[in-house]
C-alpha cells in the first residue's frame, strides 16, 4: 500500500482546511409578501410557493 513519505506540515493541513469553510445560508425574497425566504421552500410569512398557497399560516 502506498504510504506518504513525509508528515504534512501544519501549514499544508491548515491551508487545505481553509477551503472547508461553510457557505452562508442562501436567502431570497418572497415575491408574494416580500419577506426573507430560502430558495425552493414555501414562504414562512405567507405560506406561498410558486404563486399559490401550499401551507397554512396562522397570523396572515
Ligand atoms: Zn411570502
Confidence class of residue 59 from pLDDT cuts 50, 70 and 90?
A: low
pLDDT at 60: 47
pLDDT for 14-24, tens place per residue?
999 999 999 99
How far apart are alpha carbons 36 and 4 in whole angstroms? 49
**Cα(22) to centroid(ligand 1), Å:** 27
Predicted model pTM: 0.51
How far apart are alpha carbons 30 and 47 in whole angstroms? 10
**Cα(5) to centroid(ligand 1), Å:** 57
For residue 9, pLDDT over 50 is answered with: yes
pLDDT at 58: 66
**Cα(25) to centroid(ligand 1), Å:** 18
Amino acid at each position: 500500500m502506498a504510504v506518504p513519505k513525509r508528515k504534512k506540515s501544519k501549514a499544508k493541513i491548515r491551508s487545505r482546511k481553509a477551503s472547508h469553510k461553510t457557505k452562508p445560508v442562501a436567502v431570497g425574497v418572497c415575491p408574494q409578501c416580500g419577506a426573507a425566504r430560502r430558495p425552493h421552500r414555501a414562504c414562512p410569512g405567507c405560506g406561498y410557493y410558486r404563486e399559490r398557497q401550499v401551507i397554512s399560516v396562522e397570523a396572515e
